[in-house]
Structure 1
Amino acid sequence: MKNFSFEERNTTLSQIEGEHYDVIVIGGGITGTGISLDSVTRGMKTLVIEMQDFAAGTSSRSTKLVHGGLRYLKQLEVKMVADVGKEREVVYLNAPHVTHPEWMLLPIYRNGTFGKYSTSLGLKVYDFLAGVKRYERRKMLSIKETIEKEPLLKKDGLIGGGYYVEYRTDDARLTIEVAKKASQKGAALLNYTKAKSFIYSDDGKICGVFIKDVLTGDTYQVYGKKIVNASGPWVENLIGLDKKIIGKSLQHTKGIHIVIDESRFPLRQAVYFDTPDGRMVFAIPRDGKTYIGTTDTIFENDLTYPKVDIEDKKYLLECINFVFPETKLEMSDIESTWAGVRPLIREIGKGPSEISRKDEIWISNTGLITIAGGKLTGYRKMAETVTDLLSKELEASGVKVGKSVTKKMRLSGGDFKNPEDYSNFIVAKGNVLSKLGIPIDEAMNISAVYGTNTDILIELADEVLKETALPLAIKLILHYSIKHEMTLTAVDFFLRRTGKILFDIHWVHTWKSEVINYMALMMEWDEKRKEIIREDLELRIHEAAH
């Protein structure tokens, strides 16, 4: 079986000139990789091209929740809540190693966004629409019970709380597990490969793409019966390359998050809370940190590296200190940040927080299929909808395709019969890893993150390079990410494969030089390439910390 590696990428590019595919997907975020998995498992020959790394855009910059969007009930988005609510369970069953149930506390304040009775009814409807399991259905809490769940909450005006289940995830790792599964099923996926222009047939329809390897500058022509634009915030850029523009326009909005050490914000419990201006914000404990977000502001700047402004930080600090007044947090308490851009369908007269998160699909006169909008949670259903459309069009031209099978398909690393097996698996494989000389807490963490792919990491213990001073635990996950997760840069590893730039910046500073040395040995970089990689990493670290 082929490995999802830099070597496989090189092989694909060496053979891609003039190649014909059933489907070419432009965009390697959660939507694009989801479409590739659905299409390849229906029998379509599929290619994905992504101009950055997989999940480098919005798909690594979310609130990292697979959630149904409780607040959309207030906007009467009933169908969307029902659809994505049900999809939460699907994502969890197929990837329990990257999706974890998280009880969420919704404190209710006098004159707040949600009242006691409306919250009770809303959560009950939410549970019904989402098909929530009986033992995970909402509970209404008294003032005393609410404070017991989270003592840091503001007491003044508190009248109770709602308690309900969402799902916490690592958005970038969820995307890479989808990509790996698509690759295992036969799809070709290329990161750092950009669509430069389209190729047209004599009748004016799109029939291919000129692509460029961003790393080498090499260009290729590749052909496809159907071309899908799933490039997130960049969908209008792709439409702009087309000869005939038709469809919706986007409203980009920016959401930012800040990360604070638990010593300064010792949150016990994930909380979804009112802000002074009537919005809702999440505060979520994770791995010794607490992260808070998100904002919702119009964004018209650089899509590739959206910046976190001082005003963004001030706003979230004010929100935290308003609801958690004992914390008295200051700007110096922020360890790291991230910002993401949402590609929302423009709605005249609506502000950023009011615009629907529903997805929409449209087709240009030249045949370019574009999907935009939507939520992380609904990625699989969005992909199925797009691939249903592809199936109809391909079948009309004589291509035989099957039905969608992704609803019950375990993602890479998620090959458990039942999610309940996951906990025992962590312990069992953690013990195996510890016998290799890895500290037990690190061993447990590896098996928790990589799920059933942990067996592959264990097999790599004899293959890792001896030349660098990295501990075995880091060598294993780094070697695996290069050989099995198409990691090509240090930023890929530190930001999207491990999330360490966001949640453990000290770890990054400690090991960055040795990691780059290890990658250079494996991928045969010269000193010039190493310096480019090092500079890019330092820039991303600086952005996250400022």
Structure 2
Amino acid sequence: MLSAIGRPKLMKTLNSFQFDLLVIGGGITGAGIALDAVTRGLSVALVEMQDFAAGTSSRSTKLVHGGLRYLKQLEVQMVAEVGKEREIVYENAVHVTEPEWMLLPFHKGGTFGPISTSAGLRVYDFLAGVKRDERRKMLSSEETLKKEPLLKTTGLSGAGYYVEYRTDDARLTIEVIKKAAEKGAVCVNYVKAESFIYEQGQIVGVDVVDQLSGELATIHATKVVNATGPWVDQVRAKDSIENGKQLRMTKGIHVVIDQEDFPLKQAVYFDTHDGRMVFAIPRNGKTYVGTTDTFYDDDPKNPVATSEDVNYILEAITSMFPSIQLSPQQVESTWAGIRPLIFEEGKDPSEISRKDEIWESTSGLITIAGGKLTGYRKMAEMVVDHVIAKSKLPYGTSHTKNLPLSGGDVGGSARFSAFVEMKALEGQRYGLTYDEARQLAAFYGTNVDQLFAYASVLQENTYGLPLPLAARLAYGIHFEMTCTPADFFVRRTGSVYFNIDGVYSYKEQVCQMMKVQLGYTDDQLDYYRFDLEKQLNAATSFREENA
């Protein structure tokens, strides 16, 4: 179980056990590797120097998508692989992934035309193995405007209409990690790998530091995998960088706007004046739009959206939706993420491949570089195959293709709606309204029973929080290793991005409940308050540049 309260006990386990595999990195890639390995029978530890998913895995476009734009770059194999993976991810985590019909409008003189769009989407359907009821449709200009009246009408010839899958990237990551922990992996956040331990020139372990307590520990493992995303080269530098290949980081930002200011009805994938492609997606009363693609050389830990980034997105919105004239003040929040791409000489950011590669040093450090959110499971399978081959461990093939993630064991997408409806009715017995229970069931899937149990207990004292929020926080502390208020508001709920007003309303009550539950000292409470304010400022700092 991923309990923040039981975290010190897990640290002792890390310090006293010989593992088959240690995974450094608690983003979606590391989480997938831990799950694949532990379900094959390997003993597995995973450490993450920040919170789980704190890097790229909580800062994406939040789509499990098939990479239509990679077809344009003729990366046919990538489209085929990640296209098929979309459906697997969806069926295994139906509570954090849902189909999203996407409009791809084409205008005279634009990047796409009716013939190229129709042909491209047809090839896409074939390569990705898209099921019949989700295959592409071609729409006339009238049908297109019916789907989304805000679109630019000048030169509009029609649109392609196809399915992507919307997700919550941080939630997807935590559900993978929870499943790995359920299967026996020891996963701990806020543990930084400091240095490698060698025997006869081979890595046999890692010295780590608990970032919350300052305590040191040594983890012994037969094999070590570096799955740290933007920090891949920094971890390799602790060992040696031998193969000459390195990462090239690019930054992408997204903006969130209230639906009152940008009442988008339909998700749209559209081209910009400079030939890039941008998503605009409605979500829970908000519209979010992104992304940019610029080279990034600063600290990957704290990327932020600049006023220049935000203005670029706002100009793109006005260009495609002329009636929408937005100022930076109408942007409620932003997020910025770093793409850890494999360096390719002379290529612009958008041209660099999103492919993944495995690198291995002479000391045995295995590094997974590049890759995409959608392909995480397949990447993990490939990495664990490599680990097993190199270590001669007697383990078989991957078991994750049909393995529901934590919360996802509802019997597949066909049964999910009935499950949510049943739980919405049941939740009223625990002090929740029908709508509150429904939202919790849709968000947490089959784990909702634990939230109902907390709701029942917390009715007497919610620490000044609405009952559903108090239940979410209690569950996060006990089952999702939620150690700080920022963990809760940024990655466990996504509220800093999609409900920032709610964060301002309830941040102090959350801090007080966490102080009681986790035993914060006054100094720790002050530090975690400050950390949350930093996250809120990062989401809105572009406004100061525009002031």
In 2, distance between residues paired with 1:16 and 1:302? 28
Give the corresponding residue for 1:461: 455
Amino acid corresponding to residue 445 of structure 1 in structure 2: Q
Following superposition, the deviation at residue 515 of structure 1 comes to 0.6
1:366 aligns with 2:363: yes
In 2, distance between residues paired with 1:505 and 1:418? 32
Task: Summarize deviations over 1:269-316 as a string: whole Å, max 9, x none.
Answer: 000001011100000000000000000000001110102111100100
Give the corresponding residue for 2:544: none
1:40 aligns with 2:38: yes
Q: Does the CA-based 8 Å contact 1:29-1:56 persist in structure 2?
A: yes
SS at match of 2:212: coil
In 1, distance between residues paired with 2:463 and 2:93? 33
Bigger Cα displacement from structure 2, 9-18 vs 65-74: 9-18
SS at match of 2:349: coil
Following superposition, the deviation at residue 18 of structure 1 comes to 4.4
In 2, distance between residues paired with 1:205 and 1:38? 24
Two-structure CA RMSD over aligned residues (Å): 1.1
- Provide the identity percentage: 56
- Within 5 Å, which residues of 2 pair with 1:487-526? 487-526=482-521
Q: 1:255 to 1:186 in 2, by over 3 A?
A: same
Give the corresponding residue for 1:473: 468
Bigger Cα displacement from structure 2, 140-149 vs 472-481: 472-481
Amino acid corresponding to residue 36 of structure 2 in structure 1: D
Amino acid corresponding to residue 452 of structure 2 in structure 1: I
1:289 aligns with 2:289: no
In 2, distance between residues paired with 1:461 and 1:150? 40
Give the corresponding residue for 1:528: 523
SS at match of 1:435: helix
Following superposition, the deviation at residue 139 of structure 1 comes to 0.2
In 2, distance between residues paired with 1:286 and 1:266? 11
Following superposition, the deviation at residue 447 of structure 1 comes to 0.6
- Within 5 Å, which residues of 2 pair with 1:149-188? 149-188=147-186
In 1, distance between residues paired with 2:115 and 2:325? 31
- Within 5 Å, which residues of 2 pair with 1:69-468? 69-201=67-199, 203-243=200-240, 245-395=242-392, 399-464=393-458, 466=461, 468=463
Task: Summarize deviations over 1:114-147 as a string: whole Å, max 9, x none.
Answer: 1110100000000000100111000000000000
Q: Does the CA-based 8 Å contact 2:5-2:477 persist in structure 1?
A: no
Give the corresponding residue for 2:545: none
Q: 1:69 to 1:526 in 2, by over 3 A?
A: same
Q: Does the CA-based 8 Å contact 1:244-1:365 persist in structure 2?
A: no
In 1, distance between residues paired with 2:288 and 2:241? 43
Q: Does the CA-based 8 Å contact 2:335-2:539 persist in structure 1?
A: yes
Task: Summarize deviations over 1:16-47 as a string: whole Å, max 9, x none.
Answer: 32421100000000000000000000111100
Task: Summarize deviations over 1:179-217 as a string: whole Å, max 9, x none.
Answer: 00000000000100000010011x211111000000111
Q: Does the CA-based 8 Å contact 1:244-1:366 persist in structure 2?
A: no
Amino acid corresponding to residue 13 of structure 1 in structure 2: M
Q: Does the CA-based 8 Å contact 2:476-2:488 persist in structure 1?
A: yes
In 2, distance between residues paired with 1:176 and 1:381? 18
Amino acid corresponding to residue 235 of structure 1 in structure 2: V
Following superposition, the deviation at residue 424 of structure 1 comes to 1.2
Structure 1: any 5+ residue segments left out of the alignment?
Answer: none
Following superposition, the deviation at residue 6 of structure 1 comes to 1.2
Structure 2: any 5+ residue segments left out of the alignment?
Answer: 542-547
TM-score norm. by structure 1 comes to: 0.97
Q: Does the CA-based 8 Å contact 1:247-1:363 persist in structure 2?
A: no
Aligned length: 540
Following superposition, the deviation at residue 467 of structure 1 comes to 6.4
In 1, distance between residues paired with 2:498 and 2:465? 20
In 1, distance between residues paired with 2:465 and 2:107? 50
TM-score norm. by structure 2 comes to: 0.97
Q: Runs of at least 4 residues of structure 1 off by over 6 A?
A: none
